[in-house]
Amino acid sequence: MTTADDQAGDFRRRALVRAGALGLGVGAVALLASRVPLGSVPAEVRDLGAFGPAAAIVAGAALLMALVPRTAISLACGLLFGAVAGAGVALVAAVSAAIATFWLGRWAGRETVRRRLRGRIARLDSWLAQRGTLAVVVVRLLPIAPFGLVGYAYGSSATRFRHYLAGTALGGAPSAFAYAAIGAAVVSPSGVTLLTYLPAVLGALVSASAAVYWRVTSRRP
């Protein structure tokens, strides 16, 4: 039986993995920037017109459905489109992937998805059903599992679609802005101001609050 302490330990391990992945991603982009003239990339992307963001949304959604980390998608969007526009593209891609994975999870059937997920997310089912949109926001803010995998799990849960959609948009926005700002700063550091990082700071505070809320409420029957 999984205890609250086991869940807390699992959360800490996943947080460390995510932090390590972010560090590696930023390092890789910085190394690439030192060898390739990335400063010209945003201008070239703008020349594509509306096709650029549309293609990025489709590609980003497909990658998220394939369980590619959302951190990488948001970093790339920030690099290609800038901090604010990149965050918007990353968030639309995330919401699109969330919609698709939810209905695929529902179509696949509750038992099929639960067998594949085993105990990683299945134990959240009653907690999710009781708390609606707030539960979705909390789970989207915390590094419980890959973004796409959580979507498949929600499709197999008792969560209502409207709660899921609203919670995904609210919970996904802070990290989309944070990682897009980092990606944009690699290409054009002068174009990223303190105001650009404000959503990231707020997101960190909200995520910390979500972690406390999750730990307290998950101990309750």
Instruction: Give 122-139 pLDDT, tens digit per residue.
Output: 556 666 666 678 888 888
Please state the pTM of the whole predicted model: 0.71
What single DSSP character describes residue 82? -
Average pLDDT, the chain: 76
| Domain hosting residue 190, numbered range | 4-218
Residue 10 pLDDT greater than 60, yes or no:
no
How many domains does the chain divide into? 1
Q: What is the pLDDT of residue 98?
A: 96
C-alpha to C-alpha distance for 201 and 94, rounded to whole angstroms: 20
CA distances, 96 to each of 23, 35, 155, 191 (Å)? 26, 34, 14, 28
Most confident of 1-5, 22-26, 156-160: 156-160
Q: Three-class SS of residue 170? A: helix
What confidence tens digit (pLDDT) does each residue in 40-72 have? 666 677 778 888 899 999 999 999 999 998 988
Model confidence band, residue 77 (pLDDT cutoffs 50, 70, 90): very high
